[in-house]
Structure 1
């Protein structure tokens, strides 16, 4: 069967009763209690952010074809659309902060540069836990008494938590990152935010930076400078990386044939798609599917 069936569970943001402001705080114990059928160990794709801190225990997490070992001091940031699974969190404890996309729009730059998993060194973890506890207490107060609710206050507390946990050079456990939220008035940050949003909306249609420049009213050099300042890569590389990631997800987690993946991603024919994939991933699409596929189909 080549229907394009998705083997990944789609998770929609579903806040607890009374939690209507787009952010909430739970913990790993609550996650395990809610997930008695252990669906957390299967691939899932949330439409919201999850920021997790490991206080005690060890475990494992997988996100977009990378495996991470979790231990005391680990921080995990799962972004909307990311395919991930909690492969082993039975012994982990610590807070998980769930929040909607756009709740902190000004952190788009920091989000783009942050890794999935890193370790908080020294006093970073206890200070981060204080920030998470403050956010959790304010959230709980809002649930108990809606008149106390303040989206602006919750947003500021979440921003403080992210500023506390975002990695610096001493925290890196994977690829180098650029960190820190660029001030909202920084034009370069605004340009990148617009480009990133446009890429997310149109990457299956537009494969050239010039398309985005025309649509956004900037020249290609402006997009290039803003993207490099935010991510350390070129605008073209940022775009190609997004297309490649979705290609990997389709090949691994659906039963679409390669021709279907090519069409889904806006390529005129399977040959062009295969050339792009081989150039970017250093392996043919069929080989990637054979190595990482979970949907049960291996059509090419």
Structure 2
């Protein structure tokens, strides 16, 4: 991996160190990872990182939230998320790194683009054993003299689908909450929050317009009721876009996405254009 200097938090770009440097996936043990020069402080990933802990106890910080790790803990850090040096000294296990465009399989595409992310899963011994078997095969192919990209994609898909079957924490957000527009809104924030914080920009990308309030007439009017009808209406929350014709206005469910700078509170809500 290479470090690309950013304004505040450095970005870490993907760089494979094994055979075929252009291949968009790499698998390593934590011992192999410690031999490399890594960022000790907070850094933002430009690729996916799946980590499975097989031994040890320690904490790992993702988006400035500490997660307690133990044997069977799985962490999935996605592009744009911030972590503090991994692996911590007290942990051992496996790491999978892959670029967002590597999988190229319809069976996993929607899982990779899911902006409502749950970072952590806790596996029992049977689940951990099954996943370690898959990752071991993935590692063997990844480190082969001539790794097969097609085989690696399918092995990675098996890992991702196995993770998908794991039980989610009780407080995990529902990826379907808010409908398609809400999901697309979160995806736009994930990709562009560093360059724009204006709700008008996000509304335009989603095919909506954002009317500006007249001087002396704040928007929305005080005590504007939340839209629950079947027709589109302006959202009563100034920092989110309006709903689809069939869905409710789109509030952000608690914990639905990684911490990002808030959109401008002075921006008016979006209405469909």
TM-score > 0.5, shorter chain as reference: yes
Aligned residue number for residue 285 of structure 1 = none
Quote how far apart the aligned CAs of 1:56 are: 0.8
Secondary structure class of the residue paired with 2:156: helix
Secondary structure class of the residue paired with 1:158: helix
Aligned residue number for residue 259 of structure 2 = 245
1:158–1:86 Cα change, 3 Å: same
Instruction: Calculate the aligned-residue CA RMSD, in Å.
Output: 3.7
Aligned residue number for residue 156 of structure 1 = 154
After superposition, the C-alpha distances for 1:168-223 in whole angstroms (9 at most, x for unaligned) are 44x52x7324479xxxxxxx87x7776554444455255267534417xxx86549
- Any gaps of 5 or more consecutive residues in structure 2? 1-5, 209-231, 233-241, 268-273
Q: Is the 8 A contact 2:63 2:81 kept in 1?
A: yes
Kindly report which structure 2 residues correspond to 1:181-220, keeping only aligned pairs within 5 A, or say none.
196-203=186-193, 204=196, 206-207=198-199, 210-214=203-207
Aligned residue number for residue 291 of structure 1 = none
After superposition, the C-alpha distances for 1:151-171 in whole angstroms (9 at most, x for unaligned) are x321221111012123644x5
After superposition, the C-alpha distances for 1:230-257 in whole angstroms (9 at most, x for unaligned) are xxxx64527x976x83227xxxxxxxxx
Quote how far apart the aligned CAs of 1:224 are: 7.4
Aligned residue number for residue 138 of structure 2 = 135
1:15–1:109 Cα change, 3 Å: closer
1:139–1:19 Cα change, 3 Å: farther
Equivalent residue pairs, number: 220
1:34–1:210 Cα change, 3 Å: closer
Runs of 4+ in 1 over 6 A off after TM superposition: none
The answer to whether 1:101 aligns with 2:100 is yes
What TM-score do the two structures reach when normalised by structure 1?
Answer: 0.60
Distance 1:125 1:223 in 2: 43
After superposition, the C-alpha distances for 1:30-78 in whole angstroms (9 at most, x for unaligned) are 121113xxx5431111111110000111111111121111110000111
Distance 1:224 1:206 in 2: 25
Report which structure shows greater RCO (CA 8 Å, sep ≥6). 1
Distance 2:246 2:74 in 1: 30
The answer to whether 1:50 aligns with 2:49 is yes
Aligned residue number for residue 82 of structure 1 = 81
Quote how far apart the aligned CAs of 1:111 are: 4.0
Structure having the higher Rg: 2
Kindly report which structure 2 residues correspond to 1:286-297, keeping only aligned pairs within 5 A, or say none.
none
Distance 1:125 1:111 in 2: 23
Distance 1:153 1:196 in 2: 32
Secondary structure class of the residue paired with 1:112: coil
- Any gaps of 5 or more consecutive residues in structure 1? 181-187, 229-233, 249-264, 274-300
What TM-score do the two structures reach when normalised by structure 2?
Answer: 0.66
Q: Is the 8 A contact 2:62 2:83 kept in 1?
A: yes
Higher helix share: 1
After superposition, the C-alpha distances for 1:1-32 in whole angstroms (9 at most, x for unaligned) are xxxx8342221111114242201101111121
Secondary structure class of the residue paired with 1:128: helix
Higher strand share: 2
After superposition, the C-alpha distances for 1:248-300 in whole angstroms (9 at most, x for unaligned) are 7xxxxxxxxxxxxxxxx6x4xxx749xxxxxxxxxxxxxxxxxxxxxxxxxxx
Quote how far apart the aligned CAs of 1:125 are: 0.5
